[in-house]
Structure formats: structure tokens, C-alpha cells
Amino acid sequence: MGTGIIGIGRELPEKILTNFDLEKMVDTNDEWIRTRTGIEERRIADDNTDTSDIALAAAKKAIDDAGIHPEDIDMIMVATVTPDQSFPSVACMIQEKLGAKKAAAMDLSAACAGFMYGMITAQQFIDTGVYKYILVVGVEKLSKITNWEDRNTAVLFGDGAGAAVLGKVSEGRGILSFELGADGSGGKHLYLDEEDYIYMNGREVFKFAVRQMGESSENVLVKAGLSKEDVDFLIPHQANIRIMEASRQRLNLPEEKLSKTVHKYGNTSAASIPISLVEELEAGKIKDDDVLVMVGFGGGLTWGAIAMRWGR
Ligand code: ACO
């Protein structure tokens, strides 16, 4: 049997911040944001909602979807760069609120590649038979580390969470191959500055992202013994539509095989891949035995990709 996703859920704050709202906050305009990034609006959590609240809501949906009980969960991993506080971890906070009494719990820091890192770490415990069910959450409240006076970054980010329960799935389904990587020498291009705001060298990150997303997507296909024609859906990290389009073209995929949620939610970092996956499933676009390629990149610099055959 393979290891795959047996339940999934997402949570997005209700408040919508549009490009037109941003026009009133910084020197920018809807046309610039849409054409350069593909973003039209993003969700922003209110002051009373912290990262763990968004994570908890997504986690509950994933556990329900999996048809298991919180007490069945062996481990919780939360990928985030915006925890409520440095410790206790968000994973411990939701462990208590879920009542996942026997679960080990930890946070994981790999920025926008965090959900890929979490999935692959979980896979190792399940493949070896050590654990049966692992909850992996990608969650961010990026609004709290966004400098709302800096137009270079304020227009890009949003809040949200996606969660998945991993467990055993039928032979031939689940994670087929993966690639994880990091290049610490690129840390200077994307980091939390001394004022606790996101600093980003957009052009450098853009170049890295286009190169790495393409390479990693191809690499996981080769490792899985698949070709580009086998891919049914590409679910890239939703940072910028131009980066996502470059990845799609590198895999020679038609437009309808690219998952797109960036226009609605902006860049939600570790949450963007699972949020997109849920949206495609709800829209009925992903069927059992479809081949999915998920690929993310982020601060660190980090990257991660997974080829997966969908289904339990
Ligand atoms: N509104 C209007 N003008 C703007 C804005 C804005 N919001 N932001 C920048 N500009 C201006 C710049 O000042 C610049 O003006 P200048 O030519 O007079 O200097 C001009 O627009 C062009 O700027 P560029 O940086 O060349 O724009 P580019 O086409 O590269 O797009 C962007 C910028 C969208 C940031 C792009 O570089 C990008 O998407 N980079 C990757 C970002 C990314 O993926 N980040 C992931 C972070 S994930 C994480 O870890 C949280």
C-alpha cells in the first residue's frame, strides 16, 4: 500500500481585501497588481483570529473528511512562518483543542515549501509503519508580518490554512516520488527583517522560482517513471501567475490543467497548495487515479515537489 491523503480541508478568513482597497493604502493600482501578479483580492484575518485558530478550523475539516477521530492521530505537523508565538508551537495548540491526545506535535519552518516538507516527513513515518495517521497543516497569518506601507510586498500576501490527513491508501495511489531542497545562500533575498516585516527581493525570488519550480516538477516525474503527458493537474505554490504559467509551459500542459487560486487568495505561503487542492476537488476537477504534481518554493530558500496518484 502507498501513503497518501485520506482527508483534506481548508479555512479562509471572511474579510476580503481587494486591489481597490489597497489603492487607498499604498501607491499602487489594480491594473499593476493584476498584470504583474494575477492577484485580485486576498483574505485577511481579524485581530482576534491568530494562526492557530485558522489552522484548527482547517484541521477539523480534514479530520472529518478522513472519517477518523482526533484520538486516532499519531502526529501533528504544522508548517508555518507565522506561529502565534515561537513556543508553544501551533501544533501543540491545536493538539489540545482537537483532543488529539496521543499525537506528537511540532511546527516546521520551510516557508512556502512548508507543506511539501510536512507531507514528505509524514510519509516517512507512515511508510515505515511507525505511525498510521498524521495531520499536516499549512497555515499563515501573513498579514501580521506584512508592512502595509510597502507596496512591493503589501499587495502579494494573504491569510489562510489547508490541512491534510495522511495515511495508507490503495496500492499504486498516493505519493509516487518527491524532491526536497534548500539553498541557504539565497536567504538574503527573502526574510523577516528587524522590524518583523517581510523583506523580499522580488526579481531574484522570481528568477529562482521559475527555474526551480520547472526543474523540480520535471525531476519528480522522472523519479516516478512518468512523462509530462501523464500529468492531469499541476498544483503549484500560488505566488504569482507568471511563475505558475512558466511551470505549466515547462510541462507542456494546457491551461485547464493548472490550478489557480492566486487571484482570490494571493500568496498564502505554506497554505496555498492544500487550499488549491481542496478547491479543485470541490470543483470536481480531480478524479481518482489522476496524476498530480504539487510544487512549492519559498524563503530559505527552500523548495519541494511531489508527484501523487490521487485516491484513497
Ligand atoms: N504597485 C505599483 N508599482 C509597483 C508595485 C506596486 N504594488 N510594486 C512595485 N512597483 C514598481 C517598482 O517600484 C518598479 O518601479 P521602477 O521600475 O520605477 O523601479 C516597477 O513596479 C517594476 O518592479 P519589478 O520589481 O521589476 O516588478 P516585477 O515585474 O518583477 O514584479 C513582483 C514584482 C510581483 C514582486 C515579482 O518580482 C514577483 O512576483 N516576484 C516573486 C515574488 C514571490 O514569489 N515571492 C514569494 C514569497 S513567498 C514567502 O516566502 C512568503
- Give the closest residue (by CA) to ligand 1 atom 12: 152
Nearest-angstrom CA–CA distance, 105 and 96: 10
Low-confidence ranges of the chain (pLDDT < 70): none
Q: Write the pLDDT tens digit of every residue in 66-107.
A: 999 999 999 999 999 999 999 999 999 999 999 999 999 999
246-257 in b/e burial notation, b at 16+ Cβ within 10 A?
bbbebbebeeeb
Q: Is-same-fold flag (2-169; 174-310)?
A: yes
As given in the structure block, the three cell numbers for residue 248 are: 505549466
Q: What is the mean pLDDT of the chain?
A: 97
Q: Write the pLDDT tens digit of every residue in 265-283.
A: 999 999 999 999 999 999 9
* Predicted local distance difference test score (pLDDT) of residue 236: 98
Among the listed residues 250, 303, 294, the one whose alpha carbon sits nearest the alpha carbon of residue 5: 294
- What's the CATH superfamily of 2-169? Thiolase/Chalcone synthase (3.40.47.10)
The residue ranges of every structural domain in the chain are 2-169, 174-310
Residue type, 202: G
* Burial category of 152 from C-beta neighbours within 10 Å (exposed 0-12, middle 13-18, buried 19 and up): middle
* Predicted local distance difference test score (pLDDT) of residue 64: 98
Q: Is 29 a catalytic residue?
A: no
Q: Is 269 in the pocket of ligand 1 (CB under 6 A)?
A: yes
* Predicted local distance difference test score (pLDDT) of residue 135: 98
Q: Is 92 a catalytic residue?
A: no
* Predicted local distance difference test score (pLDDT) of residue 222: 98
* Predicted local distance difference test score (pLDDT) of residue 238: 98
- Give the closest residue (by CA) to ligand 1 atom 48: 298
Ligand 1 atom nearest 205 alpha carbon: 41
* Predicted local distance difference test score (pLDDT) of residue 252: 96
* Predicted local distance difference test score (pLDDT) of residue 224: 98
Among the listed residues 107, 135, 112, 138, the one whose alpha carbon sits nearest the alpha carbon of residue 122: 135
Statement: 174-310 belongs to CATH 3.40.47.10: yes
Ligand 1 pocket test: which of 206, 244, 268 has the largest number of ligand atoms within 8 Å of its C-beta? 206
Q: Is 298 in the pocket of ligand 1 (CB under 6 A)?
A: yes
Distance from residue 197's CA to the centre of ligand 1 (Å): 16
